[in-house]
Amino acid sequence: MDELRLALLVAGIAVIGGVYLREWLARRRAAAARPRSEPVLAVEAPPAEGGEAPADAGPAGGDGPGAGAAQAEAGPRPAGWADLVVVHVRAREGAFEGPELARAFDELGLAWGAMEIFHHRDAEGRLLYSVANAREPGTFPEALTEGFRTPALTLFLTLPGHPDAAAGVEALLAAADRLAARLGGELRDRDRRPLDEAGRALLRARAAEAG
């Protein structure tokens, strides 16, 4: 799933259960239009239906000299992209397997639900953040069993209308850290760069601004 598709996903998501989710808007044209080893979001999508995603970013990754060109190729970000908080957990090698994901998600209190993705709610039932699959179309089966594999996860929330932006960002970051440690993954920001302390501080500052 590239950054345009995720932005459209979340931009098209409004109130579900009194929180921020609404209908899923998928978009595949940007990915189909150009070959790459990794989509714009840096959560590795397969080169073909059912195929395995490459482990390294290649020229479309956000860490090399081609990062600016890759971003320019993607075109302008859609309205609402600035309102997203996104952290990717990418497998260091191979892919995350269904059973290990099921155990990790259960430990985090993630529940499968709207949009066929996983969600985390606080004790009052307020949605704090969601987890999408990196592989198109971004969904998960309800039962994460043997045979299910994905190269990366995308944790996200939207700031406008979030019930508690600061708590949501802290919960999202803590979950990303736990998933990376439990699954053997690495954290990336929404532009495919390694998530460092400066990146974390930026997410917290944006949450503070959102109130």
Identify whether the C-beta of residue 175 lies closer than 8 Å to the C-beta of residue 155.
yes
How confident is the model at residue 35, as a pLDDT? 45
CATH number at residue 48: 3.30.1400.10
* Predicted local distance difference test score (pLDDT) of residue 84: 87
Give the separation between CA 41 and CA 31, rounded to whole angstroms: 11
Two structure tokens written together for 14 = 């409004």
pLDDT, mean of each 10-residue run, the chain (211 residues): 58 38 35 40 33 33 34 41 85 96 98 97 94 93 95 93 92 98 96 95 93 71
- Alpha-carbon distance values, 47 to 107, 147, 159 (Å): 32, 19, 32
| Res 188: pLDDT | 97
Cα–Cα distance, 35 to 81 (Å, whole number) = 23
Q: Tell me, what's the pLDDT at 21?
A: 36
Question: Which residue's entry shows tokens 């070959």?
Answer: 35
* pLDDT for the residue 3: 58
Q: What's the total number of domains in the chain?
A: 1
* CB within 8 Å of 141: residues ≥ 6 apart: 116, 148
Domain range for 122 is 3-210
Instruction: Classify strands 185-188 and 152-158 as parallel, antiparallel or unpaired.
Output: unpaired
